[in-house]
Amino acid sequence: MPAIGVVLFPGFQIMNLAPLTVFEFANLERGDAFYDVTFLSEAGGLIRTSIGLVIETEPFSGRRFDTVLVVGSIQVAPSAPGLIDRLRETAATARRVAATCTGAFLLAEAGLLDGRKAATHWAHARALRRLHPSVMVDDDRIFVSDGNVWTSAGMTAGIDLALALVEDDLGAGMSKGIARKLVVYHRRTGGQSQFSALLDLQPRSDRIQKVLAYARGNLRNALSVEELAEAARLSPRQFSRIFREETGQSPAKAVENLRLDAARTMLEDGRHSLDTVAQETGFADRERMRRAFLRAFGQPPQVIKRNARHHEAVPIT
């Protein structure tokens, strides 16, 4: 029975516990208590989350865990030296170590990320790089595994990490079944970007939001200014002015970013040819898509597709 020790500390963010549902459902799918989850803290007792929920924990006791999972917090601050010492000791006997969100900072403080690749919430990646220069921070990945150390980006990315851990233990079929039960995408590859074109735009008005939804659902169309303006029920000139005011981008640039977002997702999924991706996302041909990818990502679509395939094919130990 793989024992999972979840390391908590005062003020941690409760979303970091969402990945534990993946292990719970693995037990339900198997019909036995395959995973045994224990909450740990430096001194044991009640630990309060950032929103006020209180959780009972056990103190570190020298018990050996298969997996040690460290949670994160909204505000990053130096950890208690005692906690870092206990974490370092417990991790030394674990088969693997993982951290969600800013939990990577605790792993770094314990020296567990020295010389390793690691992910964290994009908003804190620069700080992790500055405070711990020996860590190779990847500020764009959903999750990263380097040897027996796994780290994820912020918030829901921890669920992707947990699904990957279950897949590592029990196979892709189990992980896929759990994802379906949880109604989540199965599963975003570790190489998938944390960023979304729609999130970057964030228009203020419902009118422009509806236009973006229209564009996202009709990427095969030309999506000219005239077509988008008609969807917004505005003149092309008025639409272009309002669109730029609300999003900070021209309609043409926003449409290209939406196409890139969709194309990258399809490439990372790995089931589509380059020609199909180009057609489905409105680039029309591979060469136009290649030029757009080079401008945006500095690498052609073939490289992104190959990297995603490599991530899925190579077993992680």
The set of catalytic residues is 101
The token pair at 243 is 């669109």
107, 146, 184, 67: which is closest to 316 by C-alpha? Answer: 146
User: Are residues 282 and 219 in contact, defined by beta-carbon separation less than 8 angstroms?
Assistant: yes
Range 236-241 contact pairs with CB under 8 angstroms and sequence separation of 24 or more: 239/211
Q: Are 133 and 148 in contact (CB under 8 A)?
A: no
Tally the residues of the chain: 317
User: In the chain, how many H helices and how many E strands?
Assistant: 14, 10
Contact 215, 250 (CB under 8 A): no
Sheet with strand 143-146: strands edge to edge: 45-48, 54-59, 36-41, 3-7, 67-70, 96-99, 149-152, 143-146
Task: Give CA–CA dist 165/169, Å, rounded.
Answer: 6
